[in-house]
Amino acid sequence: MAATQQLTHVLPLGSRVNERGNLEIGGCDTVELAREFGTPAFVVAEDDICARARAYVEALRARHDDFDVLFASKAFPCTAVYRVLAEEGLVCDVASGGELHLALRGGFDAKRIYLHGNAKSLAELEQAIDAGVGHIVLDSFMDVDRVEQVAAARGVTQAVLIRVTPGVAGRTHAKISTGQADSKFGFGLDDARLAIERLRGSDSLDLVGLHMHIGSQLLSLDAYRPAVEALAALGDFSTYNFGGGLGVAYTAGQQPPAIEEYVEEKVRALHELIGTGKRLLIEPGRSLVANSTVTLYSVETVKRNVSTWVGVDGGMSDNLRPMLYGSVYEAFFADRPELAGSGETAHVAGKHCESGDVIVRDVPLADPKPGDILVTPATGAYGHAMANNYNGIPRPPVIFCKDGDARVVVRRETYDDLARRDV
């Protein structure tokens, strides 16, 4: 990809610069996609998601006999994404009644769904148990009481796991670190022991194992072993869910561990600290979908004062992560990707009425001008998931691309959609 070679690992697998000099995703020309479907738009290389799902399955199959790969669907809760990963044979992790609804709609068998959440409502628990959800991950003593109440009322025995905060924090941003003792998620180690004893006396709940998740966007694997060691001290169970968290490359300088290396670390910790005859679950989300997707924007304005501000037709309504926790991205123009990393230093600014609405800071952009199609890679995780209507902006479409064919799987919202729920 000429000068964009350094960005290859942040783009979807199979991306290339075509004969016109334009970036192609899934065999589709991104300049033509912008012309046909408008901007902003989430453009997904469908084969990229499939390839990463298969890489997880193959890496686990080579190292451990009894396992499942769960799609942590909060990363990209889109019916079409659920459908692709259900067809790939993955299991699903949902964190709300809405995600459960979408997962079922996308083709996941209820028995292959795990319900998470730190503040599950009674209605969500009733919805899950009535649907026949395979497992519920318990997050608090109140969770225990509520799930037991619903299961007993329906005369069923519900399989559950206990979410444990092992007192180990992964090296990541504080807002996406979850394994530390002072967390809104899960049971601390002492409370986990009490919950285990409590569940052993339940007629309606079947405790099959333990769950942990120490954080997201982890570029180092060194926190997993001490976290597994903490779980090992809680007793012997048939099932262990070691969560997700593998980081991805958002910028040319980021080099996350490979899927195989990540899986090897978790399997080794299980075998050495707990044992070999266990069911191992892992739940990747970001690392399954982030790099499958790019967002296309149109440049509306270019302003030069102290800095150069390249204003686009989206922003914090389609990518909230830079505003929430300072996430960084690359950016370049779809019709001159060979010039990625060159040009004047600029800030890519969104159109929203917030000074903090800046998608990418200090990025070299080659001769920005109104009408240019700007690409930000690695937006498959939490772009669509966190999209919102701030300033009355309709949410973007999701476009699947494969073998040169593009199809809309989530249409662009209209202004009428903004008022559709009015009464």
Does 230 score more than 60 pLDDT? yes
316 touches 354 (CB < 8 A): yes
CA distance 179 to 238: 22
Of 28, 50, 353, 401, catalytic: 353
> Which residues are within 8 A (CB) of 179 and not within 5 positions of it... i.e. 6 or more apart?
165, 166, 167, 168, 169, 170, 212, 213, 214, 215, 223, 227
Which tens digit of pLDDT belongs to each residue from 60-75?
A: 999 999 999 999 999 9
106 in a labelled binding site: no
Q: Does 353 participate in catalysis according to the annotation?
A: yes
394 in a labelled binding site: no
Nearest to 49 by CA among 17, 75, 23: 75
286 in a labelled binding site: yes
321 in a labelled binding site: yes
Domains, the chain, in order of start with CATH, read: 2-46+290-418 (2.40.37.10), 116-284 (3.20.20.10)
Does 354 score more than 70 pLDDT? yes
Q: What is the mean pLDDT of residues 146-164?
A: 98
Nearest to 23 by CA among 266, 377, 418: 377
> Residue 397: its pLDDT value, please?
98
pTM for this entry: 0.94
Which tens digit of pLDDT belongs to each residue from 120-149?
A: 999 999 999 999 999 999 999 999 999 999
Burial class of residue 159 (count of CB atoms within 10 Å of its CB; 0-12, 13-18, 19+)? middle
**Percent of the chain topping pLDDT 70:** 96
Report how far Cα 186 is from the mean position of its chain's Cα atoms: 20
Tallying the residues shown for the chain, one arrives at: 423
The whole-chain average pLDDT of the chain stands at: 94
Does 167 score more than 90 pLDDT? no
CA distance 179 to 70: 19
Does 174 score more than 90 pLDDT? no
